[in-house]
Amino acid sequence: MDLNTYLKNLEILVNVDCGSNTPEGLQFVTNFFQKLYKDWIVEYHELNGINPVLVIKNRDVDNFDFLFIGHNDTVFPEGTAAQRPFKIEGDIATGPGVYDMKSGLLSMYEVAKEFKDSSLNICIIINTDEEISSLISRELITEMGKKTKYALVFEPARKNGNMVSERKGLIKYEITFNGKAAHAGIAPQNGINAIVEASHWVLEISKLQNLELGNSINVGIINGGFGVNTIPDKAIIKFEGRSHDINHFENIEKTLNRLKENPYVEGINVEIKEIGYRPPLVLNPLSKELLDKFEIVKKQLKIDSNWEKTGGGSDANFLGILGVGVLDGVGPVGGNSHEASEYLVISSIEKRIEMVKEVLKMFL
């Protein structure tokens, strides 16, 4: 590979604002990769008009040996690229999305192009909504995953060089409580207090947390009311749960249904909306087979790297639940994703690309 070209392309990508809700930037980076893969079969999926998805194949077949996946979107607002554009200082590159995961997308291309004409059937997905739980692209990812044996997610490696074998699943909810407004002094008996009901739910939901088992609950947002002299007629809470055990999510759902059927405040109306979901990613037999091949190659290339279980989710979660052999974090090394101090270790780029190539050669 030509590292100079890689870094020039990385500069182009990093210097474009492409948060998950930035249509122009997302279109630019999508077009960039559409041109890069011009010699492949490229399917452009518009979906919601904001978050396009590319499905790229080396040949027109129904089933694939490998699925590669990565995302174009970042978490940063418009104007971030102008405030802190791509920069190289020594072995470190910085800029919004340089690590998570513009570099991983370019590494994915460097790997893929070597195997375009090989005996391996390869599918590539590049989406633009991963940072908002892949709400738009989830169905398409699942559809292609059902046709795939193995998958590699080119999210970046950890700052210590470790890759990811398992991820917690997560589920996000928005709960809306509709009560009835009334004057708190003159006619409090006529009101139905939405905040009281919401508060009861917060306490009951939070009881499901068990950190010893790795089951977390976080009610991160609560809104309601507009004055202490008025019974609040509306309240909203948003929360998430995370776990390696899918039973945690089933318990959350059962609890929400129980609370809705047995309200604490008489007359309240409750709306439950799921706003994000990723099933747990666990190490299945095919994943273990793939991991063992990585272990062989790591020793050959003298790469110091272990495997981690992490609480964060990625598009790998959608694939593992299907029985696909999937590993994550096979991109280059860096750190501080989602932060202004996000960075990429340039010297890790070629080594990690070589590692993935050598693993794929073992399947030829």
Catalytic pick among 100, 110, 129, 130: 130
* Residue from 330, 347, 337 nearest 100 by CA: 337
**C-alpha to C-alpha distance for 57 and 43, rounded to whole angstroms:** 8
Map residue 66 onto helix, strand or coil.
strand
φ, ψ of residue 72 in degrees (nearest 5): -85, -25
* Residue from 166, 175, 184 nearest 291 by CA: 166
Any catalytic annotation for residue 73? yes
* Residue from 117, 111, 128 nearest 51 by CA: 128
Map residue 330 onto helix, strand or coil.
coil
Phi-psi region of 193 (alpha: psi -120 to 50; beta: other; left: phi over 0): beta
- Determine which helix (DSSP H) or strand (DSSP E) holds 149, and give its type and residue range: strand 148-153
**C-alpha to C-alpha distance for 297 and 289, rounded to whole angstroms:** 13
* Residue from 311, 343, 308, 340 nearest 327 by CA: 308
Residue pair 175/237 in contact (Cβ under 8 Å)? The answer is: yes
Catalytic pick among 17, 73, 315, 342: 73
Measured over the CA atoms of residue 298, residue 304, residue 307 and residue 311, the dihedral's sign is negative
**C-alpha to C-alpha distance for 82 and 298, rounded to whole angstroms:** 38
- 253: Cβ–Cβ under 8 A, 6 or more apart, which residues? none
Any catalytic annotation for residue 342? no
- 134: Cβ–Cβ under 8 A, 6 or more apart, which residues? 71, 127, 141, 278, 315, 318
For tokens 């030829």, the residue is 364
Say which DSSP state 190 is in: G
Residues classed as catalytic: 73, 130
